[in-house]
A and B are shown apart, each in its own frame.
Chain A
Amino acid sequence: MPESYVPKEAIGHGDGGTAALAIGEAESLERRPSAAPPSAGPPGAPVGKPRSLWSDAWHDLRRNPVFVLSALVIVFLVVIAIWPQLIATGNPYRADLAKAQQGSQPGHPFGFDTQGRDVYTRVVYGARASITVGVCATTGAALLGSLLGGLAGFFGGWGDTLLSRLADIFFGIPVILGGLVFLSVVTSTTVWPVVGFIVLLGWPQVSRIARGSVVTAKQNDYVQAARALGAGNGRLLLRHIAPNAVAPVIVVATIALGTYIALEATLSYLGAGLKPPTVSWGIDISTASTYIRSAPHMLLWPAGALSITVLAFIMLGDAVRDALDPKLR
């Protein structure tokens, strides 16, 4: 950062021997209209390159092994969630009771579950439900939360008070109990009720963060300045406040994604989340837990997949937070 405070001109004119450049001298160089032609920075020189928060963050992230590793895992997970056939040729529903609970064997590296279905195929197909729920719930919660929180923070007043209390109410609902109550009355076997429930409970967390960072960004002089130069509310919010307030929201959302996936599995394990025939790690863990002594492989593989997925998203969130908020390091 400090090197960016050196005026370009000063660097272009440092004539070798006398390295020290008085501040006043640098300023007087600026004053001369012909001084400091663009030759000051050769193309590609680091000084002249515009560096915003985002390009700085990207610069940091690419060099962070935690980020690279977790991003690779996530890309892999997303690919197999979309095209599971790429690495699993079998049918996740095909049951051969004769092979029930059998361990690893050629062609079936993870063995078979209680109903004789191939565990490997089911683990691969299970990624789809987890990723869908995680991504959709996070997107929904982030959009709803930052919209409501952002507007509340910007306009303040009674709407802000109302929203904050509403968020407190949703915050107070115990997640597991709420899930059992709400989702047990749902008969749909799609992922959408689960996504909806997580969005409903997840938005207050985002809205608190978004409200806080909008309130902070709103007090910046440049917002006041833009207002003094005639910018309306919409422009202030979208162009001046949002880009300066979005970083914390992104960080919370990335970390939340991992916990939402874990939450889906927990709810499915308890029988309130996803329902068969949807293939889900949570359901398979639930079924397998009865046989943990006799056939532990049925539990370990989906549980391992779940752990790796959640870990990857949380590590990604951590890396993004480090990059966007260097103060926390």
Chain B
Amino acid sequence: MTNDGRNGEGGGTALLDVRDLKVEFRTRDGVAHAVNGVSYRVAPGETLAVLGESGSGKSVTAQAVMGILDSPPGRVTGGQVLFHGRDLLTLRREERRRIRGAKMAMIFQDALSALNPVLSVGAQLAEMFKVHEGTSRKEARGRAVELMERVGIPAARQRVGDYPHQFSGGMRQRIMIAMALALGPDLIIADEPTTALDVTVQAQVMDLLAELQRELTMGLILITHDLGVVADVADTIAVMYAGRIVETAPVHALYRVPAHPYTRGLLESIPRLDHKGRRLHAIKGLPPSLTAIPPGCPFHPRCPLAQDVCRTDPPPLYEAGPGRASACHFWKETLDGAR
């Protein structure tokens, strides 16, 4: 096996170990390289935040891990997804289906569209038990009510027969969380779980998710583009750009000093109180098209530090301190420059 070794052989503690994952989409404009060799690990009880702009491949990576890529046109072209040490990509379709929902579950961005409009929420919750455990209708309904109470839905017993559109956005997202938690999975992937919610509700939903995660020592992958959400709950951050991980670091280290110019650009583009009145920084240019990713470092056309080497040699992930790595030829300079 050609493991790149940067994740080390750090023992069998990883719950999920994604190695060098590659995903392509066949489109009319050619092959879109959505994910180009992504590796990350999640331990039980750990929260990994995957950060990136739209189109950086963060959601596609998650879909490939879950095994719900739209294929065609999407296709996993390489890598491994080790879950409890077993490579999910080699499992038969039926075996994978049994793992989905029971051992690993997913929370979607917009709960209104992620819940079936013609089924009551109780029926959809009960379905989890019926599909995976063959529970009787009556018992499944009872457990659905328990779950709704668990995620803080008032008057759960009266509302179990209500339809998704009768709940508020925050309540719907709680129901999504309840569905994901129903069977006590070891890993939860939350794809922008709070993006569609009001700011006041965002914090409540994040708190609930973090609380349940602690209680059940689940691994959590939090996909987001919101740096504010990440800071409070994540242990580790992986920053993605053009289908690659450009930097991984413990959350506080990354906020203190980023080791990649892209991460620095992201952090500088957050409005800050102590910079009031000054012009807000923006990263110039646009993310590259996935059908035509620039050679060398994909970020070089937008990078203030770019040199000739960046245009030709794709940077490997350099070890840039304890528990952190950066895919930049000039990670040292970036670290120093930020200090």
**Residue A303 interfacial (CB < 8 Å):** no
Q: In the complex, what's the smallest C-beta–C-beta distance from A54 to chain B, in angstroms?
A: 8
With A and B bound together, what is the CA distance between A5 and B171 in angstroms?
12
Residues of A within 8 A of B2 (CB): none
Question: Quick one: closest A residue to B204, CB to CB?
Answer: A31
**Residue A196 interfacial (CB < 8 Å):** no
Residues of B within 8 A of A37 (CB): 155
Q: Using known A-B contacts A27-B170, A50-B162, A235-B131, determine if residue A224 contacts B108 with beta carbons closer than 8 Å.
A: yes
Chain A residue total in the interface (Cβ 8 A): 45
With A and B bound together, what is the CA distance between A315 and B119 in angstroms?
30
**Residue B117 interfacial (CB < 8 Å):** yes
- From B105, B161, B171, contact of A50 by CB (8 A): B161
Q: In the complex, what's the smallest C-beta–C-beta distance from A237 to chain B, in angstroms?
A: 13
Q: Do residues A221 and B113 form an inter-chain contact, with CB atoms below 8 A?
A: yes
Residues of A within 8 A of B114 (CB): 221-222, 224-225
Q: Do residues A230 and B100 form an inter-chain contact, with CB atoms below 8 A?
A: yes
Residues of A within 8 A of B101 (CB): 228-231
Question: Quick one: closest A residue to B128, CB to CB?
Answer: A229
Q: Do residues B116 and A24 form an inter-chain contact, with CB atoms below 8 A?
A: no
Interface positions of A from 31 to 54, Cβ below 8 Å from B: 31-38, 40, 48, 50-54
Interface positions of B from 102 to 127, Cβ below 8 Å from A: 102, 105-106, 108, 110, 113-120, 127
With A and B bound together, what is the CA distance between A240 and B118 in angstroms?
8
- From A4, A30, A34, contact of B166 by CB (8 A): A4
Q: In the complex, what's the smallest C-beta–C-beta distance from B330 to chain A, in angstroms?
A: 39
- From B72, B106, B116, contact of A228 by CB (8 A): B106
Residues of A within 8 A of B163 (CB): 50-52
**Residue A220 interfacial (CB < 8 Å):** yes
Interface positions of B from 143 to 183, Cβ below 8 Å from A: 152-155, 158-159, 161-163, 165-168, 170-171, 176, 179-180
Residues of A within 8 A of B120 (CB): 50
Q: In the complex, what's the smallest C-beta–C-beta distance from B201 to chain A, in angstroms?
A: 5
Q: Do residues B166 and A244 form an inter-chain contact, with CB atoms below 8 A?
A: no
Question: Quick one: closest B residue to A219, CB to CB?
Answer: B70
Residues of A within 8 A of B102 (CB): 230
- Contact flags (1/0) for B173-205 with A, using CB distance below 8 Å? 000100110000000000000000010110010
Residues of A within 8 A of B66 (CB): 228
Q: Do residues B119 and A220 form an inter-chain contact, with CB atoms below 8 A?
A: no
Residues of A within 8 A of B332 (CB): none
Q: In the complex, what's the smallest C-beta–C-beta distance from A240 to chain B, in angstroms?
A: 5
- Contact flags (1/0) for A45-85 with B, using CB distance below 8 Å? 00010111110000000000000000000000000000000
Question: Quick one: closest B residue to A38, CB to CB?
Answer: B158
**Residue A159 interfacial (CB < 8 Å):** no
Residues of A within 8 A of B106 (CB): 225, 228-229
Residues of A within 8 A of B152 (CB): 30-31, 33
From B68, B108, B127, B154, name the one whose CB has the most chain A CB atoms within 10 angstroms. B154
With A and B bound together, what is the CA distance between A30 and B119 in angstroms?
22
**Residue B252 interfacial (CB < 8 Å):** no
With A and B bound together, what is the CA distance between A23 and B199 in angstroms?
11
Q: In the complex, what's the smallest C-beta–C-beta distance from B209 to chain A, in angstroms?
A: 15
Q: Do residues B110 and A229 form an inter-chain contact, with CB atoms below 8 A?
A: no
Residues of A within 8 A of B119 (CB): 239-240, 243
Q: In the complex, what's the smallest C-beta–C-beta distance from B206 to chain A, in angstroms?
A: 13
Q: Using known A-B contacts A9-B154, A53-B117, determine if residue A230 contacts B98 with beta carbons closer than 8 Å.
A: yes
With A and B bound together, what is the CA distance between A228 and B99 in angstroms?
10
Residues of B within 8 A of A50 (CB): 120, 161-163, 166
- From B100, B105, B117, B170, contact of A30 by CB (8 A): B170
Residues of B within 8 A of A27 (CB): 168, 170, 198, 200-201, 204
With A and B bound together, what is the CA distance between A231 and B163 in angstroms?
20
With A and B bound together, what is the CA distance between A229 and B66 in angstroms?
9
**Residue A136 interfacial (CB < 8 Å):** no
Q: Do residues B100 and A225 form an inter-chain contact, with CB atoms below 8 A?
A: no
Q: Do residues A228 and B117 form an inter-chain contact, with CB atoms below 8 A?
A: no
Q: In the complex, what's the smallest C-beta–C-beta distance from B192 to chain A, in angstroms?
A: 12
Q: Do residues A4 and B108 form an inter-chain contact, with CB atoms below 8 A?
A: no
**Residue A226 interfacial (CB < 8 Å):** yes
With A and B bound together, what is the CA distance between A240 and B113 in angstroms?
12
Residues of B within 8 A of A8 (CB): 159, 166
Question: Quick one: closest A residue to B158, CB to CB?
Answer: A38
- From B94, B115, B167, B171, contact of A225 by CB (8 A): B115
Q: Do residues B154 and A226 form an inter-chain contact, with CB atoms below 8 A?
A: no
Q: In the complex, what's the smallest C-beta–C-beta distance from A204 to chain B, in angstroms?
A: 25
Q: Using known A-B contacts A38-B158, A50-B161, A235-B131, determine if residue A227 contacts B117 with beta carbons closer than 8 Å.
A: no
Q: Using known A-B contacts A27-B204, A221-B110, determine if residue A38 contacts B155 with beta carbons closer than 8 Å.
A: yes
**Residue B281 interfacial (CB < 8 Å):** no
Q: Do residues A230 and B161 form an inter-chain contact, with CB atoms below 8 A?
A: no
Q: Do residues B171 and A30 form an inter-chain contact, with CB atoms below 8 A?
A: yes
Question: Quick one: closest B residue to A34, CB to CB?
Answer: B154
Q: In the complex, what's the smallest C-beta–C-beta distance from B186 to chain A, in angstroms?
A: 14
Question: Quick one: closest A residue to B191, CB to CB?
Answer: A228
Q: Do residues A36 and B154 form an inter-chain contact, with CB atoms below 8 A?
A: yes
Residues of B within 8 A of A54 (CB): 118
Interface positions of A from 8 to 23, Cβ below 8 Å from B: 8-9, 23
Report B's interface with A, CB cutoff 8 A. 66, 68, 72, 94, 97-102, 105-106, 108, 110, 113-120, 127-128, 131-132, 152-155, 158-159, 161-163, 165-168, 170-171, 176, 179-180, 198, 200-201, 204
Top 10 nearest A-B pairs (CB, nearest first) are A230-B101, A229-B101, A221-B113, A228-B106, A225-B114, A230-B100, A221-B114, A38-B158, A24-B200, A222-B116
> 13 A-B residue contacts at CB 8 Å?
A9-B154, A30-B171, A33-B152, A38-B158, A52-B163, A222-B114, A228-B101, A228-B106, A229-B101, A230-B101, A239-B119, A240-B116, A243-B118
11 further contact pairs, Cβ within 8 A, besides A225-B179, A239-B127: A4-B165, A27-B198, A27-B200, A27-B201, A27-B204, A40-B155, A222-B116, A228-B68, A230-B101, A239-B116, A239-B119
Report A's interface with B, CB cutoff 8 A. 4-5, 7-9, 23-24, 26-28, 30-38, 40, 48, 50-54, 156-157, 220-222, 224-232, 235, 239-240, 243-244
